[in-house]
Amino acid sequence: MTTADDQARVRAEQARQVALFRYRLIQDVIDVRLSSRQRGPLVQAIADREHDGPFGQKVSVSRQTIDRWCRWWRAEGFAGLVPRPAQVHARTPVEVLDMAAGLKRENLARTATQVARILRAASGWSPSERTLQRHFERLDLHAPAPSQAAQVEVFGRFEAGRPNELWVGDVLHATVVAGRKTYLFAFVDDHSRAVMGHRFGYSEDTVRLAAALRPALSS
């Protein structure tokens, strides 16, 4: 059985092999006796051919990457060539996850889909359903067993009570036009399901979103 320490040692050895590969490529370039005029052709020669990578694969390296490795070597020596562990940062605001957990605790029978719908109705945005599911799993917030489900009031499908009480806006990744990807922005009335406004655009941003909302409000 592989332990966490074993995995850490494997990752450390792989990082060392990557650093050695980088050093082998730049060892002639980092010679302090070379002038800029002499160094340029060496760097270009490295960038122009393929190399045997640290794990047996063929690798091509750009001039910019070689220059970057040289800067790291000058700043930190061999340690500067060792890959750093990826820094993963949570993209979902903590307050949104707390609100989602509160909605789930309020009624454990609520699904991630239902929680996401409530969040969108309340704030206009929600994490993905899979993100919510993983969050609930980490907190051990599970739906009740079938025997208990009959005793729990299910939230059910939400719908606004009248037209224009609530609109839902979203963007669809659409087709490619003239070599460029397009996006369809639309606003739908939650009660009647009428499309209140829509617009295609080449970028997924608030400018195009507003361009779809303005005619919807005018209508």
Between 94-106 and 129-138, two packed helices, what is the crossing angle to 10 degrees?
70
Determine what percent of the chain is predicted with pLDDT higher than 90: 25
Query: Tokens representing 48?
Result: 């122009």
Angle at 106 between CA 105 and CA 112, to 5 degrees: 65
Q: Is residue 38 part of a domain?
A: yes
Question: Of the candidates 25, 50, 81, which is a domain's last residue?
Answer: 81
Averaged pLDDT of the chain: 84
Distant-in-sequence, close-in-space partners of 171: CB < 8 Å, separation ≥ 6 = 183, 184, 185, 186, 204, 209
Same domain, 67 and 30: yes
Mean pLDDT score, 80-101? 79
Q: Which long-range contacts (CB under 8 A, 24 or more apart) does 205-210 make?
A: 208/183, 209/169, 209/171, 209/185
Same domain, 63 and 101: no
Q: How far is the C-alpha of 77 from the C-alpha of 71, rounded, in Å? A: 9
Domain membership of residue 178 as a residue range: 167-218
Q: How confident is the model at residue 86 (pLDDT cuts 50, 70, 90)?
A: low
Mean pLDDT score, 15-33? 92
Same domain, 114 and 142: yes
Q: Is residue 155 part of a domain?
A: no
pLDDT, tens only, 124-146: 888 888 889 888 988 888 876 66
Q: Is residue 156 part of a domain?
A: no
Same domain, 100 and 129: yes
Mean pLDDT score, 169-187? 87
Q: Is residue 104 part of a domain?
A: yes
Q: How confident is the model at residue 87 (pLDDT cuts 50, 70, 90)?
A: low
Same domain, 17 and 53: yes
Q: How confident is the model at residue 2 (pLDDT cuts 50, 70, 90)?
A: low
- As for how many domains the chain has, the answer is 3
Question: Of the candidates 81, 105, 137, which is a domain's last residue?
Answer: 81
Better pLDDT: 132 or 7: 132
Same domain, 144 and 177: no
Burial of 219 (0-12, 13-18, 19+ CB in 10 A): exposed
Mean pLDDT score, 79-105? 82
Angle at 94 between CA 183 and CA 172, to 5 degrees: 10
Same domain, 31 and 100: no
Same domain, 72 and 15: yes
Question: Of the candidates 58, 81, 104, which is a domain's last residue?
Answer: 81
pLDDT value at residue 146: 60
The reply to whether the predicted model has a pTM over 0.85 is no
Same domain, 138 and 110: yes
pLDDT value at residue 147: 58
pLDDT value at residue 113: 92
pLDDT value at residue 190: 86
